[in-house]
């Protein structure tokens, strides 16, 4: 469990906190989306979860380990893996397989275990056939999958995706998200998705909306996405599916008010059509 306890954080030289009095619990295996406009503090919160940043006030505990304790940081960062927006910032080696092995070598793992973990991680992200290719010769989607493989090889309990799909085209974005959700089902990973795309946030079990460093809304997507006025005040638009559902209900179709994903809308329309 990750516990964020009354956390306030300010960057050096600023007078306004990037985050103020944030409290949050992330349970093992949970899928949480954190969203908000630019400058809302969502990426700052992501970096606090594994000790890349330390709270000015309050505490962040990862399975009971305090990110403020220097001696616990290696263990914390093994438990909380992060994939960032620009994969080039995480790719450091000359070949795909060497890049995945880099973090494992720093842990001092036996060579046989490193080879096993590298092979397994590359198989999961479907890059095994490119293991000897230089990372700079990969596509954007392949680079992001490689960054994900490097994190997965560390066998984290919590996976933080900090705008990890923002630079990808829609097809590559869908590919990465589906792979992450598949891994969550298979391995029981907790997924913390930092995104400004409300369509992505709607896929989560729980959504946290930040505005100016504070929690504006929190709850299941079906509840949060109905708060259209509050979301608009934060500069956010509801997913197209939610707006479509509202329009169809106003036109007289008897659709549930809690439809947030394309799949939910498709099932509801099919059910409505099959009654006729």
pLDDT for 23-77, tens place per residue? 999 999 999 999 999 889 999 999 999 999 999 999 999 999 999 999 999 899 8
What is the CATH number assigned to the segment(s) 2-238?
A: 3.40.50.300
- Whether the predicted pLDDT of 139 surpasses 90: no
Using pLDDT thresholds of 50, 70 and 90, give the confidence band for residue 268.
confident
Query: If you average pLDDT over residues 221-230, what whole number do you get?
Result: 88
Q: Can you give the residue ranges of every domain in the chain?
A: 2-238, 239-276
Would you report the helix, strand and coil content of the chain in percent, each value rounded to 5?
Answer: 45, 20, 35
Closest among 234, 237, 207 to 34, alpha carbons compared: 207
What is the Cα–Cα distance from 178 to 7, expressed in whole angstroms?
A: 32
CA-based max dimension of the chain: 65
Whole-prediction pTM value? Answer: 0.87
| C-alpha dihedral (268, 270, 272, 276), degrees to nearest 10 | 180
Higher-confidence position of 249 and 5:
5
Contact 235, 37 (CB under 8 A): yes
What is the Cα–Cα distance from 124 to 101, expressed in whole angstroms?
A: 15
Query: If you average pLDDT over residues 183-197, what whole number do you get?
Result: 89
Residues 6+ apart with CB under 8 A from 11: 18
Residue 205 DSSP one-character state:
S
What is the Cα–Cα distance from 50 to 8, expressed in whole angstroms?
A: 15
CB atoms closer than 10 angstroms to residue 174: 14
Contact 80, 2 (CB under 8 A): yes
Using pLDDT thresholds of 50, 70 and 90, give the confidence band for residue 274.
confident
What is the Cα–Cα distance from 61 to 161, expressed in whole angstroms?
A: 19
Q: What is the pLDDT of residue 276?
A: 59
Query: If you average pLDDT over residues 254-261, what whole number do you get?
Result: 81
Q: What is the pLDDT of residue 16?
A: 92
Using pLDDT thresholds of 50, 70 and 90, give the confidence band for residue 254.
confident
| C-alpha dihedral (204, 196, 3, 174), degrees to nearest 10 | 40
Query: If you average pLDDT over residues 171-177, what whole number do you get?
Result: 80
pLDDT in tens, 78-128: 899 998 888 888 888 899 999 999 988 888 889 999 999 999 889 888 899
């Amino acid at each position: 469990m990750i516990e964020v306890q009354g956390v306030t954080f300010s960057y050096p030289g600023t007078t306004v906190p990037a985050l103020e009095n944030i409290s949050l619990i992330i349970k093992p295996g949970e899928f949480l989306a954190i969203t908000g406009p630019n400058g809302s503090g969502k990426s700052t919160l992501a970096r606090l979860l594994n000790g890349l940043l330390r709270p000015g006030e309050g505490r962040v505990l990862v399975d009971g380990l305090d990110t403020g304790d220097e001696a616990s940081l290696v263990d914390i960062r093994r438990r909380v893996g992060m994939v960032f927006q620009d994969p080039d910032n995480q790719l450091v080696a000359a070949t795909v397989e060497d890049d995945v092995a880099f973090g494992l070598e720093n842990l001092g793992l036996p060579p046989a275990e490193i080879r096993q973990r590298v092979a397994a991680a590359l198989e999961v992200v479907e890059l095994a056939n490119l293991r000897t290719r230089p990372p700079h010769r990969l596509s954007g989607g392949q680079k992001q999958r490689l960054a994900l493989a490097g994190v997965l090889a560390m066998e984290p309990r919590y996976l933080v995706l900090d705008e990890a799909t923002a630079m990808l085209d829609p097809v590559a974005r869908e590919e990465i998200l589906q792979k992450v959700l598949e891994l969550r089902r298979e391995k029981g990973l907790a997924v913390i998705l930092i995104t400004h795309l409300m369509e992505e946030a709607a896929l989560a079990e729980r959504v946290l909306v930040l505005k100016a460093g504070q929690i504006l809304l929190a709850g299941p997507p079906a509840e949060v996405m109905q708060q259209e006025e509050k979301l608009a005040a934060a500069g956010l638009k509801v997913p197209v599916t939610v707006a479509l559902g509202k329009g169809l209900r106003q036109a007289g179709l008897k659709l549930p008010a809690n439809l947030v994903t394309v799949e939910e809308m498709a099932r509801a329309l099919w059910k409505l059509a099959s009654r006729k």
